[in-house]
């Protein structure tokens, strides 16, 4: 596992932030994710939908959407080794583990989560090849996350 603050493509993080805002406007926790397959150029997006489905975290939904594309296109690859995940909030242990199992190449996240065991710790336990790049557009992602938290939990 490599942990770095190397600057990634901000374009996808901007997209993740826009998706997070959409979810927030619909009353969901404003967490947005973008999964990019750099080999096939497929891009999927999702925001948290945990209001009605507890496990419907943005990252899990992205993994599911990309899996559907792989199935439809009859790609033989079982894993997401050419995929990078961009997410506005640090992934929770469930999502970090799922991305590790699917062998997502890189995770870029915005603001750190203070609620969970760190994503890096989970990936460290898994001894995964998934790389983590943290605090991308951190302030803006923090503001998106927390402005909606205040609306949902006054
Ligand atoms: Zn999660």
9-51 residue pLDDT tens: 789 999 999 999 999 999 999 999 999 999 999 999 999 999 9
Centre of ligand 1 to C-alpha 124, Å, is: 17
Interval between CA 135 and ligand 1 midpoint (Å): 17
Q: Are 64 and 108 in contact (CB under 8 A)?
A: no
Residues 118/90, Cβ–Cβ less than 8 Å: yes
Is 77 among the catalytic positions?
A: no
How far is it, in rounded angstroms, from Cα 19 to Cα 32? Answer: 5
Task: Please identify which of the residues 28, 53, 59, 131 carries the catalytic annotation.
Answer: 59
Total Cβ atoms within 10 A of residue 110:
27
86 C-alpha to ligand 1 centroid (Å): 13
Could you read off the pLDDT of 55-81 as tens digits, one per residue? 999 999 999 999 999 999 999 999 999
Q: What is the CA(114)–ligand 1 centre distance, in A?
A: 13
> Mean pLDDT for the chain?
88
For residue 108, give both structure tokens. Answer: 């870029």
Distance between CA 39 and CA 29 in Å, rounded? Answer: 31
89, containing H or E segment: strand 83-89
pLDDT in the model for residue 154: 47
The pLDDT of residue 5? 45
Indicate the helix (H) or strand (E) that contains 47: strand 43-47
Task: Name the residue with tokens 């890189």.
Answer: 106
User: Cα(102) to centroid of ligand 1, in Å?
Assistant: 14
Helix (H, G, I), strand (E, B) or coil at 131: strand
Run of H or E including 33: strand 32-37
Task: Give residue 127's pLDDT band: very low, low, confident or very high (50, 70, 90).
Answer: confident
């Amino acid at each position: 596992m490599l942990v770095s603050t190397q600057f990634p493509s901000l374009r996808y993080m901007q997209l993740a932030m826009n998706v997070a805002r959409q979810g927030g406007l619909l009353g969901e926790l404003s967490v947005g994710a973008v999964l990019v397959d750099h080999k096939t150029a497929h891009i999927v997006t999702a925001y948290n939908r945990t209001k009605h489905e507890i496990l419907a975290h943005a990252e899990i939904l992205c993994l599911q959407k990309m899996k559907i594309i792989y199935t439809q296109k009859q790609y033989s690859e079982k894993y997401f080794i050419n995929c990078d995940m961009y997410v506005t909030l640090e992934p929770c242990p469930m999502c970090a583990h799922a991305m590790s199992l699917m062998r997502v190449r890189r995770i870029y996240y915005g603001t750190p989560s203070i609620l969970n065991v760190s994503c890096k710790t989970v990936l460290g336990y898994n001894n995964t090849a998934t790389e983590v790049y943290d605090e991308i557009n951190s302030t803006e992602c923090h503001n998106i996350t927390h402005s909606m938290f205040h609306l949902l939990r006054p």
